[in-house]
Amino acid sequence: MIVALKDCPENTRCELIDSDIPDSLKSRLMGLGWLPGKIIQVVRKAPMGDPTIYLVDSTKIFLREEESRMIKVKPLYPAPLAVAEKGKYRIVKFFGGGPRFTERARNNGLFVGAVIEVISNPLKGKIIISTRDGEFAVGRGFSEKIFVEPVRR
């Protein structure tokens, strides 16, 4: 699924597809190694959610949401549930979130190795998923910490 860079949570790795940013900024980003096909790692969001530090080619830079919303990327799996499109996935790991988080997840049928299905993901608001325990909605904060990988048939 192609998403805006700004929608990628921390620790996502994604491939740069294209950007609609002004030409001048684009050329500076190119000078920093930001070319289509390059892998961008989302390192950290600032305390108020913006800007975000990204890592490309061992150089860390930070960008604001105004720019990162115009940059299109393809998340690489394992990716956070937050950017997963419709389909079946296996949970690979949890990122961040303490033992209480994992326990809460487990109670909802979410644990490492579990297979889940994303019913709908509007990239804003809640994601509808179904597990063996049934269908339910997960919040964005929650979905950013669960890393999944598509299940191939």
Partner 1 sequence: MKKKIKIALVGNPNVGKTALFNALTGAHQYVANWPGVTVEKKTGKFTWQEYEIDVIDLPGIYTLRARSIDERVSRDYLIQERPDVVLNVVDATNLNRNLYLTIQLSEMGLKTVLILNQMDQVKNMNIKINTSELEKRLGIKVVETVATKGVNLDEIMKAALSSTPPVKYEIYPTHFEELIKKIEKLSQETLKDKSIPLRWLAISFSEGDELARKILRENGLLEKCEVLLSSIQDENPSLIVARARYNFISSILKQIEVRPKESWTISDALDHVFTHKILGIPIFISILWMMFQFAFSASTPLSDLIDLGFQALANYAHAIPGWLGSLIGDGIISGVGSVLVFVPLIFFMFFAMGMLEDTGYMSRAAFLIDRLMHRFKLSGKAFIPMILGFGCNASAIMTTRTIESEKERIISILINPFISCSARLVVYAVIAGAFFGKFAGLAIFSIYIVSIAFALSMAVVFSFLLKSKESSPLTMELPRYQLPTGRGLWIYMWSRGKHFLKKAGGIILGATVTVWFLSNMPVGASVQNSWAADIGKALAPLFAPLHFDWHITLALLFGGIAKEVTVTTLGTFAGGNLPAFLKTVLDPINAYALMLFVLIYIPCVATQAVMRMETGSYKWPIFSVIWSLSSAYVIALIFEIVGHLVVAL
| Contact footprint for partner 1 (CB under 8 A) | 21-33, 35-36, 43-51, 53, 57-64, 66-67
Cβ 90 to partner 1 shortest distance, Å: 26
User: Is the CB of 24 or the CB of 124 nearer to partner 1?
Assistant: 24
d(CA 79, CA 63): 21
Strands 39-45 and 79-80: unpaired
- Note whether 85 and 28 are within 8 A (CB): no
d(CA 122, CA 11): 20
Cα radius of gyration (the chain): 16
Cβ 33 to partner 1 shortest distance, Å: 5
User: Is the CB of 64 or the CB of 93 nearer to partner 1?
Assistant: 64
HSE (CB half, 13 Å, CA atoms) of 91? 24
Cβ 125 to partner 1 shortest distance, Å: 22
User: Is the CB of 58 or the CB of 98 nearer to partner 1?
Assistant: 58
Cβ 120 to partner 1 shortest distance, Å: 29
For residue 82, how many other CB atoms are within 10 A of its CB?
A: 25
User: Is the CB of 20 or the CB of 133 nearer to partner 1?
Assistant: 20
